[in-house]
Amino acid sequence: MRARRMPQVWDPGTANPKQRQFFTSRALYTAYGGAKGGGKTWAVRTKALLGAYYYPGIRILVMRRTYGELQSNLIEPMAQSLRPGLARYSAERRTIYFSNGSLIRFGHWAEGRSEQEYNGQ
């Protein structure tokens, strides 16, 4: 008799009330501000990953002011939490590709050059 394989479960943690409000927003654009340490980065990481897994073909752009902030606060933690076989990270393209056709692209704001590069995304 073969052992039954349990499905992988991703538990990102528990959201605080403000994060829950952010997660349940159905607006096209949702602003989330506040003091340092309020969980904004965790909320963005979690909502982006859940959205990409749940909505096939969605395109998500995650931005930070500098590439260093982007790398340490977003890319590395998100890449480590990817479910094997369902998503992979390409460092060359700074993009997470999901098997359902979704993607998360990472960018940083570099003055006027960024406006042209990210316009429409």
In the chain, domain spans = 39-118
- Output 13 or 18, whichever has higher pLDDT: 18
CB 18 within 8 A of CB 38: yes
pLDDT tens sequence across 45-101: 999 999 999 999 999 999 888 889 899 999 999 999 888 889 999 999 999 999 999
Instruction: Tell me how far CA of residue 22 lies from CA of 27, 35, 46, 94, in angstroms.
Output: 10, 15, 11, 25
pTM for the whole structure = 0.78
Q: Report the DSSP pairing between strands 95-98 and 87-90.
A: antiparallel
